[in-house]
Structure 1
Amino acid sequence: MARTLHRLITALAAAVAAVGLLTVAPANADVTPYIVGGTRASVSEYPWTVYLASSSGGQFCGGTLVKGNKVVTAAHCTVNRSAASTRVVWGREDKQSSAGIVASVTNIWVHPSYRTATSGYDVSVLTLDRNITSAYLPLASSADTALYAAGTSTTILGWGTTSSGGSASRYLLKANVPVVADTSCRQSYPQYNSSAMVCAGYPRGGTDTCQGDSGGPIVAGGKLIGATSWGRGCAQAGYPGVYARIATYHSELTAQINA
């Protein structure tokens, strides 16, 4: 019961993108994310927001630049993908433009304990073939408990679909959603694991990540607190978005980032 489609389906993504249909589902069919209820965002304001694309150019997930040559994304976006078939696009707000940089990927690290997004460990680090000169986003750590407190305002970003099963956005979108209490999230999702995940959204729904936003950032306090992971549908009342809790994986991610 993840975001409906998981946000990828590697092979399908490339094929679909090739014919101009931008809805992309992930490798494991239990997640979904795009920004629903969002507004246009500027890459100059969020310069560390990137998207993942196939070698043919089709966007299938999001990510966050955390060092000149390192991107954090979701494991379900990259598991079973080859580095050679993956690109990272930086500085391109409009997917139909040629702005920014298209970097090749030289290495993909997937958390070794990852099995499915709903089981946790949904984090991955990509190494790029170059250093991108840009501001990058620091990771939340175990000291940042306040950033995970219920009610904390966060920003979600992505190029995903703007409705469940709808079309992907041409432009980078953003929205603000509050962190949801772990107890409330567990009522929505019995498999929710508060040590591995964090929920964000409104009780009434209406604003959320959706298909294609997978792996993209959820930000609070100037730090990356989560990577878009899974959820039931998109923006449904009573079913907030679920994100990989970056603080839990801080040491493992940092080791990969500094490798």
Structure 2
Amino acid sequence: MTTSTWINRGFTAPFTATGISALVPPPPWHYAGWLLNVAFSFAPECAWPLLPPALGRVVGRGCVHFADWQACTDGHELLDPVLAQYRETIVVLEIERPDGSHCMYCPAIWVDQDISLLRGLLQGWPKKIGSTYLTRSLPLAHPAAAPLRVGTRLGASLAVKERRLIDAQATLSGENGKPLGFLSLPTLGAVGWADLRRPQQMPEPLLVRPDIRDRVHSDWHAATATLQLHPHPGEDIGCLGDIEAGEASAGWVGITVAGARDADG
């Protein structure tokens, strides 16, 4: 049975003739946010459960991004901020593709907003619900503002199903930083949906990359950092084992997602 004669105006469910109830409208989606980025290293052989072998060779480097975002389509969400604001934690791993190029792959990401969760799944970013907190830097010379200067300390944490999963602390060095993780390399994800008409058959994920445009950013502020990954009974990311924090940076970025492309397109 099909619904081809039904005038549906919802880009995502719920599908209705008005489209008002749709959780996510079509792109472009515009994002601006404050990010703390912490690079890390790990034993490459530990990552095999997290990504398809066809991607290429895991090089043993990754990044955790703690992000405080504001997002919109035509801008109306900015007048109703509950639709626009959310926080998330993103984990990406660096891959050397078969052609020798490098990219990032997102095996795990947690967010606190259903709109963002569905946008992520459509892009191949496997979002789940989690609770992220990170220190905000405010443009004030005040003890509570965490101003962007030498010695300022920042913290971030992620809890999933009320269990702490990731902790980070960073101290600004006063030096220029750089973009890390998905801010520095193209990032791939896997899109796949189960078909309950064939519950015994696993989905065959398709590798895609978001079509990111109109990137803008502030200066990146370098930091030294610590990063800790805690055991969790419901998350595969723990298979990375002992991770070692590397360089870190903090700053603001804005991007627009216009859609998605095939991974090799």
Give the TM-score, by structure 2 length: 0.31
Greater relative contact order structure (CA < 8 Å, 6+ sep): 1
Higher strand share: 2
Bigger-Rg structure (1/2): 2
